[in-house]
Amino acid sequence: MSSATGMGAGAARTRAALLAAPALVVFLAFWLLPMARLALFAGQGPSGIEAYWAVLAHPQYRASLISTILLSGLVTLATLAIGGITGVFLSRHHFPGHGLLAGMLTLPLAFPGVVVGFMVILLAGRQGVIGQLAAILGAGRPVFAYSMTGLFLGYLYFSIPRVLLTVMGAAEKLDPALEEAARSLGASPLAILKDVVIPALSPALIGAGALCFATAMGAFGTAFTLATRISVLPMTIYTEFTLFADMPIAAAMSLMLGAVTWAILALARQATGAGVAAAA
Amino acid sequence: MGRTGSAAPKDDQTMTPNPAALAVRLEDCAKTFADGTRALTPVNLAIGAGETLAFLGPSGCGKTTLLRLIAGLDRPDPGGKVWFGPTDVTALPIEKRNVGMVFQSYALFPNMSVAGNIGYGLKIQGLARLDRRARVAELLAMMRLEAFADRAIDQLSGGQRQRVALARAIAPRPSLLLFDEPLTALDAKLRDALRLEIDALLRQLGTTAVYVTHDQAEAMALGDRVVVMTHGRIAQIGTPVDIYHRPANRFVADFVGLMNRVEGLAGDGWLTCRGGRIPLAGSQGPATALFRPETARLADPADAHVRGTLAAAFFLGDRTRLQVEGIGEAPITVDAFGPVALTPGDVVPLVIAGALAEPAGFADMG
Amino acid sequence: MTGRRLLLALPLALAVATSAFLIVPVALSVLAGLSVNWQQGLAGGLTLHWIGEVWTLYADTVVRTLALAFATVAVDQLLGVPLAYVLARHPSRRARLVEELIMLPVAVPGLATALALIILYGGWHDFRGSSAFILVGHVLFTLPFMVRSVLAVLAAIDIATLEEGAASLGAGPMRRLLGVVLPNARPGILAGSLMVLTLSVGEFNMTWMLHTPLTKTLPVGLADAYASMRLEIASAYTVVFLLMIIPLLLLMQWAAPVRRRPRTTRP
């Protein structure tokens, strides 16, 4: 597309290199090099290169991987259903305060995982409001913040806003003429949903689902605050690093996890064509 | 070409080319939108059985709003009624009105193939698969789309998409066809070709149709009658010939083709103006003559009634459009057919025939 | 029409339930942080006492978090704006590769990036124990957002044509950069900066690994408080966090272009 103006292409290329250099040097020095070192380091522990397969070989780590995948998968499905329905609904029904509600629903996007965990504690912890309500109704005082349910709720908490945002954005872009055409052919609202709306939203839904899954796989803060008994993979990695000082294993597992989340996000980018971020 | 008909009915009379088809009536239909814009002032309109009615007007005139009211996509303001034959359909949404609609952007479903799109209305109607397939095949043949049956929509050209949209709309045998500027997105040559196809199709089907466009050639070519609209109201309803040769007001006169206006003093069958005399019957005193560019002819200087000076000439292929000054206050436009050997500054001798006197109150709309 | 009514009622109920699920705990935390005693709820009265406690205990984290956030923005602007310009003027396979590359610290869990930094630079104690160590992590994580934001604006305004216009009037490269590129990139820089601020203030995963007892940030402090402090203090601390983050989010909304829903043409 662009050709240089001024003294010719050569000078322009030098200028470009100079301008891009600082960022790339920083990236090289503080990410590429350390990552390469990490990869090497992971293979230098007592188990050698086998450390990379530890997550699959070692039963304890495998269990952690499986529970992480199951949790992430369930959260993704639930979030797509809830976020999909709610997102389409909100994008079509504008009422006074609609903007405010949309803002409040996407506020949790800025929360670190620890705050999300705290939200779940407020709902379902020992002094949680759900427990207090249940006690008033005479149904005992359920405390489930620190169980799998609590973790699930926490993951749901940071996933729904992400999907909501994506779905609302995609729903806004839907061409109303398509639905009017379907209506002119006699289609009921349900038929329109099935034949027109969902197919049109499916790229966005797939992308959002992949993003949701990747974020859940790599989530640390929420589990850190909530999980005392269950171990998800990021927590396992963390424990290896701090408690057991088994750094090569921790390094290897974190690299594998990184590769998996990157792959899933690359897929998401294919589906939506936009950049995505995973952090919770 | 346009339907002139031997017994051209008066302006507001509907035509009934196909008595078995649906007749539509609009009673006091107005439309005000939520933000307060008044898109349509109360309109009363009757569409004859089997008639093709063209809605013509500039952007913002309300023609699409009116179409959507007929379709059932929007409801008229309280007090407005829409009748399909003997039935009051005002409260019925579009799904229940059995209309076929062709959209400006075609609105083809990207997740279905061509055959899938065409058969969608039939699927909703609950037609059995074999019958559905037969009907889809029938339409594919009618629209010459057999080769594209299983193609995806994004692999089609604009003209092909248009035909798929048409096929989809007529497959469920609707009682009313609605066209919302369907040819606007196409280039000129394709538009001409498709216009002929649509004309043939409408005549073949005999279904009542409403056709919205801002292109006057399209409106006059396809419409049995034309409804000219501006600013949410109807300026004139009539056959294409009526609209063109007997415009009811200045808006219609200027919107449909070009209308020249020359002021002067009328008497004894002539209007005397700056450049000479124009034959004008039935007027006395100060008057304005109205005539179309093609009714003015270049003549021999000896035979000419009026003389002007050539300001500019535009060679348009089949004719030369001349801007001539000095006849009236403003320059007039003359279309000359055949070779023209004039340069700017030359004297232009003209004979103007068929001018009409501008009626009183012409500038206002009735 | 019961089908239609159901189609309206179910999603509405779900939307209400979802909204409650997301918003109620936030409201609760604000309440808990301001109430004298959470067990007694509102009946016990409201107070700013806990906020005061939080300030006594954690004021340094607030200051450090803000300082880090602004430092991150500054570094991101210095590194990211020139890079975005280069990517905008020289779009190619290589440019897209670079974009993918700088996104890696975002695609990969913060844990991994933090581990890598510790492994390579952990031995350098002065660096390891300073806030600069955390700054590095934040820059890595937020840079792609700054770059993307500026790149989007430059692409939208067709910066190449603008520069050609300036050059045709005699402006040299430096002048074009300062007089044409930067001023027109400003909306992107602003939006990107706000995004970076928000991300930096809320960053935990990396920061938890990179911090030391002397370089705690607000989210790190929050983790401490959730684990060891009473609910009222933890809630008050959360309120402080919300007070920092909500204005940033509002500013981001204001700085972003508004998009209206496409309607069919009316006339």
Residues in B touching C267 (Cβ below 8 Å):
39, 57-65
Question: Could you tell me the CATH number of the domain that includes residue A166?
Answer: 1.10.3720.10
**Total number of domains constituting chain C:** 1
Q: State the CB neighbour count (10 A cutoff) for residue B32.
A: 14
Tokens, residue A125: 């912890």
pLDDT top residue among B71 and A231: B71
Tokens, residue B30: 């107005």
Q: Is position C6 within any domain?
A: no
Contact call for C265 and B57, based on CB within 8 A: no
**Do B64 and B229 form a contact (C-beta atoms < 8 A)?**
no
**Do A5 and C164 form a contact (C-beta atoms < 8 A)?**
yes
* pLDDT given at position B310: 95
CB-side exposure of C40: number of CA atoms within 13 Å? 9
A30-79 confidence digits (pLDDT tens): 999 999 999 988 888 777 777 787 778 888 888 888 989 999 999 999 99
Domains defined along chain B, listed by start: 24-98+175-254 (3.40.50.300), 259-357 (2.40.50.140)
Question: Which subunits have 3 or more CB–CB pairs within 8 Å of chain A?
Answer: B, C
pLDDT top residue among A246 and B317: B317
pLDDT at C44 over 90: no
Average pLDDT of the segment spanning A146-150: 85
Nearest to B114 by CA among B71, B175, B173, B157: B157
Q: Is position A72 within any domain?
A: yes
Contact call for C267 and B104, based on CB within 8 A: no
Q: Is position A70 within any domain?
A: yes
Q: How confident is the model at residue C204 (pLDDT cuts 50, 70, 90)?
A: very high
**Do A23 and C79 form a contact (C-beta atoms < 8 A)?**
yes
Chain A positions with Cβ closer than 8 Å to B = 175, 177-178, 180-188, 191, 195-196, 199-200
Q: Give CA–CA dist A134/A154, Å, rounded.
A: 20
Sign of the CA dihedral with C72 first, then C74, C77, and C83 last: negative
Contact call for A185 and B120, based on CB within 8 A: yes
* pLDDT given at position C2: 63
Q: Give CA–CA dist B117/B123, Å, rounded.
A: 10
Q: Give CA–CA dist B201/B219, Å, rounded.
A: 16
DSSP H helices, A109-246, are 113-124, 129-136, 148-172, 176-184, 189-192, 198-218, 221-226, 233-242
Q: How confident is the model at residue A127 (pLDDT cuts 50, 70, 90)?
A: confident
Nearest residue in chain A measured CA to CA from B100: A184
Contact call for C208 and A104, based on CB within 8 A: no
* pLDDT given at position A61: 87
pLDDT top residue among C148 and A2: C148
Please tell me the distance in Å from B212's CA to the nearest CA on chain C: 10
Q: Residue A180 is nearest to which of B107, B108, B124, comparing CB atoms?
A: B107
**Total number of domains constituting chain A:** 2
Average pLDDT of the segment spanning A207-221: 90
DSSP state of A29: I
Q: Give CA–CA dist B132/A248, Å, rounded.
A: 65
Q: Residue A184 is nearest to which of B99, B108, B109, comparing CB atoms?
A: B99
Best to test chain A binding among C40, C93, C115 (most A CBs inside 10 Å): C115
Report helix, strand or coil for B2: coil
Q: Is position C112 within any domain?
A: yes
Residue B186 to residues A50, B143, B182, Cα–Cα distance (Å): 64, 17, 9
Residues A227 and A256 in one domain: yes
* pLDDT given at position C257: 56
Question: Could you tell me the CATH number of the domain that includes residue C142?
Answer: 1.10.3720.10
Contact call for B120 and A180, based on CB within 8 A: no
- Is beta strand B208-213 parallel, antiparallel or unpaired with respect to B176-180? parallel
pLDDT at A5 over 70: no
Q: Is position C144 within any domain?
A: yes
Residues in B touching A185 (Cβ below 8 Å):
120-121, 124, 168, 172
CA C135, C138, C141: angle at the middle one, nearest 5? 150
Q: Is position C13 within any domain?
A: no
Residue B283 has phi, psi (to 5 degrees) of: -130, 155
Residues A108 and A36 in one domain: no
pLDDT top residue among C264 and B320: B320
**Do A262 and A67 form a contact (C-beta atoms < 8 A)?**
no
Q: Is position A225 within any domain?
A: yes
User: What global pTM score does this model have?
Assistant: 0.78
Question: Which subunits have 3 or more CB–CB pairs within 8 Å of chain C?
Answer: A, B
Q: Is position C228 within any domain?
A: yes
B262-294 confidence digits (pLDDT tens): 999 998 889 999 989 999 988 889 999 999 999
Range of the domain at A193: 53-272
- The chain-wide mean pLDDT, for chain C, equals 88
Please tell me the distance in Å from C61's CA to the nearest CA on chain A: 15
- Does the CB of C4 have a partner CB in chain B at under 8 Å? no
Nearest to B103 by CA among B71, B126, B74, B129: B71
Ranges of chain B whose pLDDT falls below 50: 1-11
Contact call for B105 and A196, based on CB within 8 A: no
The ipTM value here is 0.86
C6-41 confidence digits (pLDDT tens): 777 888 899 889 999 999 999 989 988 888 888 777
Alpha-carbon torsion, ordered A24, A27, A28, A29, to 10 deg: 120
Q: Is position C22 within any domain?
A: no
**Do C136 and C207 form a contact (C-beta atoms < 8 A)?**
no
A157-177 confidence digits (pLDDT tens): 999 998 998 898 888 888 899
Contact call for A127 and C78, based on CB within 8 A: no
* pLDDT given at position C230: 87
Report helix, strand or coil for B311: strand
pLDDT at C254 over 90: no
Q: Is position C244 within any domain?
A: yes
Q: Is position C18 within any domain?
A: no
- Does the CB of B100 have a partner CB in chain A at under 8 Å? yes
Lowest mean pLDDT among A40-44, A86-90, A273-277, B350-354: A273-277
Residue labelled with tokens 């009514």: C5
Q: Is position A48 within any domain?
A: no
Residues in C touching A221 (Cβ below 8 Å):
204-205, 208, 219, 223
**Do A82 and A160 form a contact (C-beta atoms < 8 A)?**
yes
- Does the CB of B32 have a partner CB in chain C at under 8 Å? no
Residues A74 and A137 in one domain: yes
Q: Give CA–CA dist A201/A206, Å, rounded.
A: 9
* pLDDT given at position B12: 57
Residues A87 and A11 in one domain: no
Q: Is position A279 within any domain?
A: no
